[in-house]
A and B are shown apart, each in its own frame.
Chain A
């Protein structure tokens, strides 16, 4: 059935008028509506497609058309499409009606749009800033607007005091002296425990505010944004090949997933056909990334309950996979492998032999690790029923990826939007219904075996002919498109818009951590504070991917 008819039908049933519709690519569908109908259209699609907000972002096109555009992306597994609803927002008095009361998964995106663009989500229940902390960044400065200079020296005059800000020659004496307001729980015997941003372990920075009465946590709020580096602004104006390197450093433990999502978006816009062999190599690398991270997380969960031997064992497994990565690609974290149009690295017959050999050993070690953990009563006692994330909560928050699968939501881009490569191999989407730490552990152990199986199947497909694995001289052309990859945490999404010069005009990045951090606040409720590290590790979310 023609997708235009399907979506026309959906909107007409909800009595939502639209301006136009088009199908720019096979897997994307875009609907243009007036600002007044934006909310109704989004809510209708949310209801019918049963999809959370996958992305909600603004773009500044005031220089060309005097407006901001606002786009909301949903996914539809049924129709195998990513649906984007777009509207224009007045450039002079930018505001739109907030979606988050009816559709909570839009909440964080709205806060982000407000701080980055100064577009007001009218009626939003929470307008606190996420990344630009009130203590260091003045009000009224919106870095993702196009008239905000990309280079820092242009907006801050060194002669001025650090609290004065100069943008486009206009000095604003905007002192940043705000304070972030945490939710307050009051009552007899309730006290607060502030933790972070510098933690005891070797991990990223974030602040957690616990409210506890006795031992159980009655509220936990995470304040993030500490690793905000302005990635989206840095990417603007770059050539696509320069940008690949930056996307690899968005989240260091998912560097391949991120660069792949970016490359796929650009390849889609420019109509570049990636050689089949290169797609297989990419899928293989993506699974290797999943393997080393799952091994690290399983070890991390063991260490967070004080079970050190299995954790040391898991770190041997992780090290073996990193060493294998190095052997295959020259980089332990699979950097410099992706390029626009394909991959830099050719796998030879010897590489495949080495891969098979070490994977055999890795799987054997992993079996032992699993036995040690699952046969330990005290370990099982800690993970079982700890940190439950209910299915309904997960759906409302828009939780995706591994955490969603552990709470009974079987979403997996590899199955839902398989492309060509993942159709060639057999694998199952792992689903658990418990939603607790054990469920997330089970998903990881099952996926570890699944991914290893997939890598071996990919190895069978590879021809190892020694031909080059990238499309020649990819011609960059203007346009916009969405790249999506099921990275080990979940869907990594890149919406890229290229201008006439072939450089990046806007790149919106959504790491699965951005969807999932809030789930942790719900999962820890009622658990005791000493179980927090375990719950946290069972999600293992990225700080830098969230903060950008």
Chain B
């Protein structure tokens, strides 16, 4: 307990900056976040809940999605939350080229979501299979299975890119 209190006091607030090495310009993150918060407030009444599904990604995209929730980016303070069940989700965030084994699971996850619902793809594999395009075991992108509203490019996209594209999606 003593260590926790000590570290809480000494570490202070790290959000937005990290010895000058976090997001290249912390004030960008703040401005972007506030804009995102306003957009979420308007369209979703405070909170935007996302369910993530990996359909065969290498794990890089997952790592970056998790990074958006770390204390430096802390996307939750703007109203974005990642939820454990599709029943609680407003949007489905899909990574990976959709392997044959995951096609049904992806469809079922989508069907389990209450409407209105969005599908967002993330990472360069998701739109058409990316590096794995043409393989015998990939379905060639999420769009062949679900209606996709937006895409976040990158291999993998860094947390700032993810936040920026979420804002673009909500503004449209």
Residues of B contacting A375 in the complex (Cβ-Cβ under 8 angstroms): 2-3
**In the assembled complex, B115 has its CB within 8 A of some CB on chain A:** no
B56 and A229 contacting across the interface, CB-CB below 8 Å? yes
Choose the segment among A10-18, A184-192, A220-228, A260-268 that binds chain B (4+ C-beta atoms closer than 8 Å).
Answer: A220-228
The answer for the CA separation of A143 and B131 in the assembled complex, in Å, is: 18
Q: Which of B18, B60, B102, B131 contacts A226 (CB 8 A)?
A: B102
- Interface residues of B, count at CB 8 A: 55
| Beta-carbon contacts under 8 Å, B98-112 to A | 99-105, 109
Q: Which of A197, A315, A547 contacts B70 (CB 8 A)?
A: A315
The answer for the CA separation of A333 and B151 in the assembled complex, in Å, is: 21
Residues of A contacting B137 in the complex (Cβ-Cβ under 8 angstroms): 132, 143, 228-230
**In the assembled complex, A168 has its CB within 8 A of some CB on chain B:** no
**In the assembled complex, A198 has its CB within 8 A of some CB on chain B:** yes
The answer for the CA separation of A517 and B31 in the assembled complex, in Å, is: 44
Residues of B contacting A320 in the complex (Cβ-Cβ under 8 angstroms): 18-19, 21
**In the assembled complex, A5 has its CB within 8 A of some CB on chain B:** no
Q: Which of B64, B134, B155 contacts A151 (CB 8 A)?
A: B134
CB distance from B59 to the nearest CB of A (A): 4
B60 and A333 contacting across the interface, CB-CB below 8 Å? yes
Q: Across the two chains, which residue of chain B brings its CB closest to A375? A: B3
The answer for the CA separation of A203 and B64 in the assembled complex, in Å, is: 11
Residues of B contacting A318 in the complex (Cβ-Cβ under 8 angstroms): 67, 70
Q: Which of B2, B21, B58, B100 contacts A544 (CB 8 A)?
A: B58
A229 and B21 contacting across the interface, CB-CB below 8 Å? no
User: Binary interface profile of B, 45-65, with partner A (CB < 8 Å = 1, else 0)?
Assistant: 000000011111111111111
CB distance from A15 to the nearest CB of B (A): 44
**In the assembled complex, A7 has its CB within 8 A of some CB on chain B:** no
B132 and A231 contacting across the interface, CB-CB below 8 Å? yes
| Beta-carbon contacts under 8 Å, B111-147 to A | 125, 131-132, 134-138, 140
Q: Which of A226, A313, A547 contacts B105 (CB 8 A)?
A: A226
B58 and A197 contacting across the interface, CB-CB below 8 Å? no
User: Binary interface profile of A, 109-152, with partner B (CB < 8 Å = 1, else 0)?
Assistant: 00000000000000000000001110111000001000010111
B67 and A544 contacting across the interface, CB-CB below 8 Å? no
**In the assembled complex, B96 has its CB within 8 A of some CB on chain A:** yes
- Interface residues of A, count at CB 8 A: 66
User: Binary interface profile of B, 70-91, with partner A (CB < 8 Å = 1, else 0)?
Assistant: 1110000000001011000000
CB distance from B64 to the nearest CB of A (A): 8
Residues of B contacting A361 in the complex (Cβ-Cβ under 8 angstroms): 19
**In the assembled complex, A368 has its CB within 8 A of some CB on chain B:** yes
A251 and B54 contacting across the interface, CB-CB below 8 Å? no
**In the assembled complex, B156 has its CB within 8 A of some CB on chain A:** yes
Residues of B contacting A322 in the complex (Cβ-Cβ under 8 angstroms): 67
- Most A CB within 10 A of own CB, among B57, B136, B155: B136
The answer for the CA separation of A358 and B18 in the assembled complex, in Å, is: 10
Residues of B contacting A335 in the complex (Cβ-Cβ under 8 angstroms): 155
Name A's B-contacting residues (CB within 8 A).
Answer: 131-133, 135-137, 143, 148, 150-153, 155, 197-198, 200-205, 225-231, 233-234, 245-246, 249-253, 255, 296, 309-310, 312-313, 315-316, 318-320, 322-324, 326-327, 332-333, 335, 358, 361, 368, 371-372, 375, 542-544, 547
Other than the given A234-B134, A333-B60, 16 more pairs (CB < 8 A) read: A133-B100, A197-B102, A200-B84, A202-B52, A205-B55, A227-B55, A227-B101, A228-B56, A229-B99, A250-B58, A253-B60, A316-B14, A333-B156, A361-B19, A372-B3, A372-B7
Closest 10 A/B residue pairs (Cβ): A252-B60, A252-B58, A200-B84, A252-B59, A315-B70, A230-B135, A323-B21, A227-B56, A230-B137, A372-B3
